[in-house]
Every structure is written in structure tokens, then in C-alpha cells.
Amino acid sequence: MARAAPEPSPARRLLREMVRLVALPLPAQERLDRLVATIARHLVAEVCSLYVLRAGDVLELFATEGLSREAVHVTRLAVGEGLVGTIAAEGIVIATSDAQSDPRFVYRPETHEERYSSFLGVPVVRSGRVVGVLTVQNEKPRTYGEDEIEALTVVASVVAEMLASGDILDPSRYADAAGRPLQPRRLEGVRLVGGIAVGRAWTYAPRIDPARLLAEDPAAERERLDRALAELRASLERAFARHQLGGEGREIVEVYRAFTEDAGWRRRIEEAIATGLAAEAAVRRVRDETRLRLGHASDPYLRERLVELDELAERLLFHLSGRDPVAEAAALPEDSVIVARNLSAAQLLQFDRRRVRAIVLEEGSPTSHAAILARALGIPVVGLCRGAMLEIEEGDVVAVDAERGQVFVRPGEALLEAFRRAEENRLQRARALEALRPLPAVSRDGVRVRVEINAGFLVDVEDLAASGADGCGLFRTELLFMESDAWPDRERQAAFYRAVLERAGDLPVTFRTVDIGSDKPVAWLHPPPEANPALGWRGVRLALDRPRILRTQLAALLEAGAGRRLRVMFPMVAHVEEYRRAAALLDEELKRRRAAGLGLPAALERGVMFEVPALFWQLDRLLPLVDFVSVGSNDLLQFLFAFDRSSPVLAQRYDVLAPPALRCLRDLAERCAAAGVRLSVCGEMASQPLEAMALVGVGVRCLSVAPTELLPVKAMIRSLDVGSLAGFLERALAWPVCSLREALAGYAADHGVVLPPPVRPVAAA
């Protein structure tokens, strides 16, 4: 005999009746009145009242069953006033059998509620924000039980959605209701990528909760995992293919691709499946274990990898559930401002960049992969914008001033017009900058500064001469290694390096020898686990321990550079002896080619990356051995101040424009000039016009910048009097301050130095 279906709970019956009520063709106020009457009847209460948050943090009685009808839209309580105001202010539930003896109770005579003793009130919450208060009252003293509190809380959550959707309010009369004030809100954050934009908010918080936890057939689950991984890679490839990225952007894409093929990650998931977990639960378990291991790591590379592995896990869960996150991202409307807690590189790439006006993040850092990609794509980003996902509703008009780290929510027409004018001015400046492309970077007082670019792929140097650059100051050779399933042999490397030199023409290219390890994994190398890989087995350290890797690369570079000018640079050198050993390998390869009668470079320059502060006190031994020194400012400043440059807590504490950092660079420039050794800066610092101005002021005469920042930096140099700036800095470097940023910005304004903010590419505007 079939078992009878269980009777629905009182709360479920109430919810069903509420849904039917909303569907009736009734005037908004009548629907509200019938709604509170229905709630009172089902919860056996003499009174049910709904208070809605209005502009100015005021709670207004919108409907009641049991209190005086004359009080509707008359009775108001400030947030924090009375029992109702306390619920709204603190987001708590209040239940009492004697409301009027509670010291928080406030009496409003127009309600005639003096005869009601018992009171139960719950907050009406939407998107983490209280938008109203729902109450029931009884005449006799009554202790409200957990079931009644839970039922009213559930009902309040449904009421919150009804308020937001406009099902129970007249939006023409109450446009500011449900916690959405009419006045603009200004949120403060920090600039991650400069620029300004106006658009409508689009909240991005993708998440998949595994529907299945256990599985009987591990083999079947591994097959599902195989299919999902294949779909994940194909989905990422489609996203990557839409964006023709070069330089740092392309490097990050390759890092991401390498992570999807990480054998250790896959092995841990398969081991979890073998314990009886479904594929979805196994992915979640491995992700949580990774979070536990890396979550408290101070190293920026480890934390960046945590973000990426988190994102890969979420995307893999999408595919296991039959969903494609790239396809779902196609729902992004035109002119959107993406609002998210954080964003990974792959998440950003899945969007059509023509639809993204700006990005607002509650977390993020200027050196994160997502920020670097956004910079390459010309998308303004504000990070560390606390509470953004609570304060900004889907569809809100948002004006983003990433230059100042400010976000304006629901701005007025005057502010919007100011943003429109500013954005048009920026586009005009972008067009004006184009006129500088063929001109040299010569200051007003005749100082010539070489401005080169950072690169990593053939596409980056395809139009090097036409770009206006003086050469390529940093070519990252490790990208060839990272995109290969096996160690690339000499022939393959030589063909690639030869193609780079051919495309660069007569302009010089500085090849950095392979800098794998740390955050740059390769499929064929299995480094030992390290607590802090940024300070570990990477760069020249790894290359000297695996001399075959370095010797093969040096042989390939010499072969490609036969008859041409060739520059070779060794990264992460901490001791002169490391450079001597690396240079000795280069000499051995030169000797071998000479003995074999093979072609040699027409000119060969060798140098080091200056990233480790210890090298500064070895300059007297180092400079006679090298032709050039290139500062990797990202790592140098991180090591100099012993701080994690991607830490949100420390993001604003240490500045590259601090006097100690600039004194270090000034002294380095003086020592190099005295020794006749060329000095360049190829880190992030060189790509920002204000920071680049400071570098020129302390004596740096060669900058290697992100391709998108070439023209802004060139415009700065052409408007600068270097002698005057040098004199100003000589005095300012003695000031007892933590940063010279404001002083340098003031100097630029007073002396007519052009500091163009980063500009969205005209073609993408």
C-alpha cells in the first residue's frame, strides 16, 4: 500500500499562498495588505507588520494587520530606534513576551499597539543588507519558539525578493524603498589599473555546489573527470583565442595553460576519487586542501597560484555539471562594470572585453595576473573596495574613477556629465599620443632616454620599429619552455630566437635566460616543494644546477645571433660567483662554435638582472665583468622592504617612490655610469609615468616598459627638464618621509610635466 505523502509544514503552506497572492492582479497596496494578513493568520498572531527601509535610513510602516491602518505610511522609525530600528541596525532577531518593558521599546501613539505584549521581529535581508523588518505581535504574553522564528525568517527572505522585484511595491511612488537610496554613494578603494568609465553593475559570483558526494564506480568518475578536463582546456583555449595578447598578458595565459595540465593537481583529484568520492566532491576536496596549505602563505606567487587553482576548480565543477562558464559569460550586457570579490586571469579572459567598461573588486592587487591582463586590455580596475558587493546592486549605474580609486554608485546627472567629458578627453589624449610614436624620447633639456619594451612572444616584436620603441629591453625566453610538453631542444630554440631577431630588424633585443621555477611551472621539470618559491630554486640558481638546460639555451642564442648583435642577461643573480659561472658557460659555447668554424654574433653583450639587494655591495667586482645591468624593480623593491607586494594588508604601506628605494637606484645609476655600464629598468616601475619620471631623475637613461605604456612614458620624458628634476630629487631624497609620490606629482604639475594616465585603446573604446 502506497504511503500517503506527508502534510506540508505551516511555513510551506504559507509560502505557497504568498506566491499565489503575488500572482493576483491587485493594486500594490492591496497586495501588501493581504500579504501581512495572510502571514498573521498562518502564524496565529493578532498583528503582522512590514516596515521598509527608505532613503535616509528611515523605516516606514508599509502595511499592517492588527495595528491602526491610519499609521500606514505615517509611522516612521530611524534605524537604531525602538525594537524595529534595532533589528534593522544590528540585523538581529528580537523575540520577547513583554515588549513594552524592553528598554529599547518606542511607542508610536498612531499605531494603537499598547495592548500587545508579545513581539517577534526579524530583519528582511537582501544581498547581505537589511532592507526592512517583518514583525508579528500577540496580546497575551507568548514565548515564540524556534519553529516560529524560523518560519518568519523564511517568510522574510521571500518578502525581500518581492521587494527587490517590485512585485509588492509601486516603483513609481517608492523608488527609494527596499534599501536603495536615491542619493549617490561613494566607495573608496585603490587603483589597480588606471582609467575612468561609466556603466551598469554586473555582479559576478559564480559558484557550483556539488550535487553528488559519493560514487560507487571510481572508474566511471575518472572518465567523467577526463571529459571535464578536456572540456575545460577547450573552453580556456576559446577564451584565450579571443584576445590577441602579447607581453605579460601572453605570459599569464601560458602560465594558466600550464596549470590546467598540472599532473600533481590531477593526481590528487584521482586519489580522492579512489576513496569513494564523486568527481565533483573530489575536486572540491583538493581545492580545500590547497587552500589550507597556501591560504596563510605570505609569498605573492603562492597566493596568486591559489587564486588560479581555485578558479580552475570552480571551472572544472562547471564542466562536471554540464555547464560552460565561457558560454555563461556571454550573458554579460553591453557597457558593464563587473563587480566581484576577486577575479582570476581566466575569468577575465572569458568576457568579451568590448562589453566591459571597468572592474570593481573587493580584493585584488596591482601585481595580480588579473590586473596585469586588465592593463593589457585597457580596462580600468579599482581593488580593495570593501563592501562593494553589498553596496552595489545589479543594474546600478556605476561611475569608476580608477585613477583615484573611487567608485560612485547611482551618481547624479552632473557627475555623469563630468565623467563623460573626462572620458572624451582621455580618448583625445590617446589620439594625441599617437603623434609621438615616431619621435625620440628626448627631454626639454636635451637628455636622450631609451624607451624599450618588454616582450615574450613573436607577436610582441612583429612591428617593433613601427611601435616607436628603441628596442626590446626584456625578452622572456621561459615562455617557450612553459608552453612545451618536453624540454625544447637547441634546434627549436635557435629557430625561435632567430625569428625574434629577424622581426626586430636593426633594433636590439635583450634575451633573459630561462627563469623557470617559482610561479612559472613547466611540464617536464619537477622542482621540490618550497614554502616560499619566490625566494627559492629559480632563475640562474636553477639553471646552474641544471647546466644542460642553460648550455643548450646559450648555444641556441649564439646560433640565432650569428652575424647579428646579441644581448644575453642572467636573472636572479645574488652573488658575483653565480654570474661568473653562468658567463663561463657562455664562453665555453663561444669557444666551441669558434673551434667548429661556426658563425658568431657580430657583437655580444652580457648582463645581469639586478633583483637581489645583496648584489649592490658587490658592484665593485660585478661591473668590470658586465656590459649592462637591468633592474627588475618588482622583485628588488619587494626584497628591499621585505614585504609581499601582492598582500592586500600591505598594498599601501610601502611605495617604490620611498626615499630609500630611490636612493638605492640613484647610487646604482652613479656606480654604473662611472664604470661605463649601461643601466636600464625593466620592472613595473618603468611602465608608470610618475615612477618613470623619478627613475630618469635619479639617473636612469634606459627604460623597458609594457607596450601599452610606451607612448605615455615617452610623452612624460619629452615634457621633462631632467636637470631641474635631478636637483629637486637631490634635496627631496633627504626628507624624513615614507614616500615622495605626492611631492613628485606636485613637481610635475608645477613644471608642466605631462603625466598621461593609462588610456583605454581607441579601437576598444
CA 314, CA 474: separation in Å to the nearest integer? 35
Beginning with the edge strand found earlier in the chain, give each strand of the sheet holding 196-204 in spatial order: 185-188, 406-409, 397-401, 196-204, 336-340, 356-361, 381-383, 190-193
CA 706, CA 714: separation in Å to the nearest integer? 12
Active site residue 369: yes
Burial 14-46 (b: 16+ CB within 10 A, else e): bbebbeebbeeeeebbebbbbbbbbbbebbebb
Q: Which of 42, 243, 319, 369 is catalytic?
A: 369
Three-state SS annotation for 289-302? HHHHHHCCCCCHHH
What is the Cα 183 distance to its own chain's centre?
Answer: 28
- Contact (CB, 8 A) for 465 and 443: no
- Contact (CB, 8 A) for 378 and 195: yes
- Contact (CB, 8 A) for 531 and 570: no
- What is the DSSP code (8-state) at residue 629? E
The SS3 assignment for 379 reads coil
Helices and strands (DSSP H and E) totals, the chain: 27, 22
Q: Which of 385, 472, 682, 702 is catalytic?
A: 682
The SS3 assignment for 751 reads coil
Q: At CA 189, angle to CA 180 and CA 350, rounded to 5?
A: 85
Three-state SS annotation for 53-121? EECCCEEEEEEEECCCHHHCCCCEEECCCHHHHHHHHHCCCEEECCHHHCCCCCCCHHHCCCCCCEEEE
Tell me the three cell numbers of residue 316.
Answer: 572544472
Active site residue 682: yes
- What is the DSSP code (8-state) at residue 2? P
- Contact (CB, 8 A) for 441 and 433: no
The set of catalytic residues is 369, 682
